[in-house]
């Protein structure tokens, strides 16, 4: 892109009333999952996609068949017991799952490069949509400012508008958002439109937030680029996404492959390095066999708005939570519905410059995974919907299996333990009831079992090995990761640490799955995105059962068989160390120490992209936001007026059903004699009501400060 591009320049939008543009409604109806669309895409399958699928199927079937055959030799099919048969079943399913993952990575080596539109292709009008929920607005607004400035430098700021969609339920978080929005509007001047809307009712969470935006303002935009609160996308990548959508009228969703950045903690750096080295080969494989029936991950993707509105309205599932109600993991379902409607869903693996952040600690991962587990298991009610392509069903099945695999592994270990217990406590019967001259001795082929174990390890580690090889051939990763030796050393460290954390995550995810099947809803918790370690007390409270399980199992297994103890000791060691591993996972000092010795480094860490550096610079320079939002508005007239002017009015209550919290809040303001007294009386819900009312904010501002007692010396 050497020559200057000519795109329109955005006018000044700072004075727009209510925070949002004029209404531009777009119809978006909930889809009927029993309806079969007639808009299926026609045409022959691309030869490279077909070849990738052949590779995937052959690798998966070959590994599974060989491993199952070898396992049958170990347990002797002719004399198989019920427990051994159950072990065979769960072993085959688990092996097929890891074989599929390996086959997918191998298939990615055949992937062709996607076509890139010409530099001067039109971009249309795209909304940079950022849904937020009780987030730190300082981090989100600095990211948006950095992206807006980069788009302006590229000369394409007129093709993009920023839309912040808040679902925040905390009054202080809401007020901090409006203060940050007002500052961002001032910083951007008239270079790019910045819209903000906080909705009153959080129906259907993130998917409902976006659907409500589309229904009221969707017709204004050609595309929307959906961001998470921790997303960051380079300006050239944003432009490429928009140009690619304009160049291909049949393209409905184009998903980037975001990389992790900004990790400072021990566990965060572990995830960041793994995503950097292994992530590209995994996403290339996924894109290779998916083709135009790809997947959507809910963020860092561009979507054709009219196609999304026509095909992706999510129904409310029948039944009670957690399987019924609103769809939680909406992204996979929206991709499947978009494909059902005849639109292509592709992955832009060749586009760099797409980033996100990772949870800082093991407990943060567990909190996030609880919601994801429920959302993915909810797809059991959707995977059989009419009209979905086989590949879309496969994506839904992969999401389901990503959580079912943990309890399957746990059941496999449990059955193995039961077999060992049975062999030790139950006296074997060497002579059958039929007459025979010689006894039937029990047979256990240790050599076959050892060979099968190492075969399984090779299959499990193949994606990591292929990722390491790919990284060694990448000059960018070699240079950023400390050369070939540095990359290999980091892969070894990551493999060892991942093996220690794996059994802990197995028990955590197994508990999540069991809770879902027991009917427990996950709720909606704010995700912590900045670095921070759990306390020893939090780690002990969360992992004490994991340590207890490891200790009990170690004693029993040692009593049964010291040889078996040696085999299971790696898993037991991770569980035994779960409390310190969890406590140290959020440690920044260990993260810095690893960086100093050159381990788990990534190119973005060693050579930060300009956009990442600018975002960090803005974050360091940003003035603090108020802790007590209502107190701040009461004593800052300009901020109070900007808050009122920058928000849509509170929706009216239904006739005959006034909201009692608004009444009690106003009465407390009438009774209060000082600002501090009123703020102390207001409940969290009443604080939201006050923040939404210009009249009550004026009442609050009129209250004097509490009189301080005079002291005489």
CB 347 within 8 A of CB 255: yes
Judge whether residue 518 has pLDDT over 70.
Answer: yes
- Listed range (129-138, 232-241, 549-558) with the worst mean pLDDT: 549-558
Tokens 């010409």: give the residue. Answer: 118
Mean local confidence (pLDDT), 489-507: 94
- Lowest-pLDDT range of 12-21, 216-225, 530-539: 12-21
Q: Is the pLDDT of residue 37 over 70?
A: no
Query: Is residue 182's pLDDT more than 90?
Result: yes
Give the pLDDT confidence score for residue 289 in this predicted structure: 95
Phi, psi at 275, each rounded to 5°: -65, -35
Query: How high is the mean pLDDT of the chain?
Result: 88
Tell me, what's the pLDDT at 36? 74
pLDDT at 566: 75
User: Average of pLDDT values for 361-384?
Assistant: 93
Say if residues 590 and 270 touch (Cβ distance below 8 Å): no
From 41-45, 157-161, 677-681, the region with the lowest mean pLDDT: 41-45
What integer pLDDT is reported at residue 709 of this predicted model? Answer: 53
Query: Domain extents for the chain?
Result: 645-702
How many Å apart are CA 601 and CA 311, to the nearest integer?
Answer: 42
Over range 398-423, report the average pLDDT. 87
Q: Model confidence at 151, in pLDDT bands (50, 70, 90)?
A: very high
Query: To which H or E segment does residue 618 belong?
Result: helix 610-621
pLDDT at 269 over 90: yes
Provide the pLDDT confidence category of residue 588 given band limits of 50, 70 and 90: very high
pTM, two decimal places:
0.91
pLDDT of amino acid 424: 67
Cα four-point dihedral sign 538, 542, 543, 545: positive
Q: What pLDDT shows up at residue 152?
A: 96
Listed residue (263, 276, 262) closest to 486, CA to CA: 276
Give residue 561's pLDDT band: very low, low, confident or very high (50, 70, 90): confident
Query: pLDDT confidence of 12, banded at 50, 70, 90?
Result: very low
pLDDT reported for residue 416: 78
Length of the chain: 713
392: pLDDT strictly greater than 80: yes
Q: What are phi and psi of 139, to 5 degrees?
A: -70, -40
DSSP assignment of 203-271 equals TTHHHHHHHHHHHHHGGG-SEEEE--TT-EE-HHHHHHHHHHHHH-TTEEEEEE-PEE----SHHHHHH
H or E segment at 301? strand 301-304
Long-range CB contact pairs, 554-560, < 8 A, 24+: 556/417, 556/421, 557/417, 557/420, 560/420, 560/421, 560/423, 560/424
Q: What is the pLDDT at residue 449?
A: 67
- pLDDT score of 71 more than 50: yes
Average pLDDT rounded to a whole number, residues 682-705: 96
Cα-based distances in Å from 496 to 244, 270, 378, 458, 507? 41, 11, 33, 15, 18
Q: Using 50, 70 and 90 to split pLDDT, how confident is the model at 413?
A: confident
Region class of 133: left (phi > 0), else alpha (psi between -120 and 50), else beta: beta
pLDDT band of residue 442 (cuts 50, 70, 90) is very low
Question: Residue 15 has what pLDDT?
Answer: 43
Predicted pLDDT at 531: 58
Dist CA 316 CA 204 (whole Å): 9
Query: Mean of the pLDDT values across residues 557-586?
Result: 86
Tell me the percentage of the chain whose pLDDT exceeds 70. 88
Query: Looking at the predicted structure, is the pLDDT value of residue 309 above 80?
Result: yes
Q: What is the pLDDT of residues 599-651, one digit of tens each?
A: 999 999 999 999 999 999 999 999 999 999 999 999 999 999 999 999 999 99
Handedness of CA 40, 43, 44, 49 (dihedral sign): negative
């Amino acid at each position: 892109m050497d020559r200057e591009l000519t795109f329109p320049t955005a006018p000044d939008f700072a004075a727009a009333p209510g925070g949002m543009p004029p209404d531009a409604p777009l119809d978006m109806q909930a889809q009927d999952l029993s309806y079969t669309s007639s808009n299926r895409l026609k045409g022959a399958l691309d030869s490279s996609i077909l070849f990738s699928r052949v590779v995937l199927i052959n690798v998966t079937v070959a590994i599974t068949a060989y491993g199952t055959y070898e396992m049958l030799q170990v347990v002797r099919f002719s004399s198989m017991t019920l427990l051994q048969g159950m072990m065979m079943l769960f072993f085959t399913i688990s092996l097929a799952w890891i074989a599929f993952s390996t086959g997918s990575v191998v298939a990615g080596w055949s992937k062709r490069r996607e076509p890139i539109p010409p530099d001067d292709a039109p971009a249309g009008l795209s909304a940079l949509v950022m849904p937020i929920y009780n987030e730190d607005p300082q981090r989100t607004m600095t990211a948006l400012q950095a992206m807006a400035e980069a788009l302006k430098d590229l000369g394409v700021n007129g093709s993009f508008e920023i839309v912040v969609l808040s679902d925040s339920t905390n009054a202080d978080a809401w007020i901090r958002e409006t203060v940050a929005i007002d500052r961002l509007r001032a910083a951007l001047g008239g270079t790019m439109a910045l819209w903000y809307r906080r909705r009153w009712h959080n129906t259907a969470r993130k998917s409902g937030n976006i659907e409500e935006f589309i229904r009221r303002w969707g017709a204004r935009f050609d595309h929307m680029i959906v961001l998470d609160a921790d997303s960051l996308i380079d300006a050239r990548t944003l432009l490429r996404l928009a140009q690619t959508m304009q160049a291909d009228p049949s393209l409905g969703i184009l998903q980037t492959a975001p990389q992790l950045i900004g990790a400072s903690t021990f566990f965060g750096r572990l995830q960041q390095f793994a995503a950097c080295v292994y992530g590209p080969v995994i996403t290339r494989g996924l894109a290779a066999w998916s083709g135009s029936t790809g997947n959507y991950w809910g963020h860092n993707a561009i979507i054709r708005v009219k196609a999304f509105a026509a095909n992706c309205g999510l129904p409310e599932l029948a039944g009670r939570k957690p399987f019924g109600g609103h769809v939680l993991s909406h992204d996979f379902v929206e991709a499947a519905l978009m494909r059902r409607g005849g639109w292509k869903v592709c992955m832009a693996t060749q586009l760099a410059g797409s980033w996100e952040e990772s949870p800082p600690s093991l407990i943060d991962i567990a909190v996030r995974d609880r919601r994801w587990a429920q959302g993915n298991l909810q797809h059991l009610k959707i995977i059989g919907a009419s009209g979905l392509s086989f590949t879309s069903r496969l994506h839904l099945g992969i999401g389901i299996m990503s959580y079912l695999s943990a309890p399957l592994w746990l059941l496999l270990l449990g059955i193995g333990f039961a077999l060992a217990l049975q062999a030790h406590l139950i006296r074997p019967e060497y002579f059958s009831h039929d007459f025979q001259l010689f006894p039937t001795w029990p047979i256990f082929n240790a050599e076959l079992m050892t060979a099968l174990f190492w075969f399984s390890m090779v299959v499990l580690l193949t994606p990591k090995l292929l990722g390491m090889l790919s990284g060694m051939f990448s000059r960018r990763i070699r240079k950023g990761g400390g050369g070939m030796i540095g990359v290999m050393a980091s892969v070894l460290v990551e493999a060892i640490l991942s093996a220690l954390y794996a059994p802990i995550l197995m028990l955590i995810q197994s508990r999540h799955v069991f809770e879902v099947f027991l009917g427990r809803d996950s709720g909606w918790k704010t995700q912590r995105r900045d670095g921070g370690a759990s306390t020893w007390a939090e780690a002990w409270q969360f992992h004490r059962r994991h340590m207890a399980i490891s200790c009990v199992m170690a004693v029993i297994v040692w009593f049964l068989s010291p040889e078996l103890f040696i085999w299971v000791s790696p898993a037991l060691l991770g569980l035994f160390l779960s409390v310190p591993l969890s406590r140290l996972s959020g440690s920044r000092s260990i993260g810095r120490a690893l960086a100093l010795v050159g381990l788990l480094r990534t190119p973005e860490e060693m050579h930060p992209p300009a956009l990442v550096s600018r975002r960090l610079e803005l974050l360091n320079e940003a003035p603090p936001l108020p802790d007590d939002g209502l107190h701040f508005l009461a004593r800052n007239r300009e901020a109070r007026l900007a808050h009122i002017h920058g928000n849509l009015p509170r929706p009216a209550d239904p006739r005959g059903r006034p909201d009692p919290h608004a009444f009690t809040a106003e009465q407390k303001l009438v009774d209060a004699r000082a600002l501090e007294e009123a703020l102390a009386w207001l409940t969290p819900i009443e604080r939201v009501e006050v923040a939404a009312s210009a009249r009550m904010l004026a009442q609050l501002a009129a209250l004097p400060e509490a009189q301080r007692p005079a002291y005489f010396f």
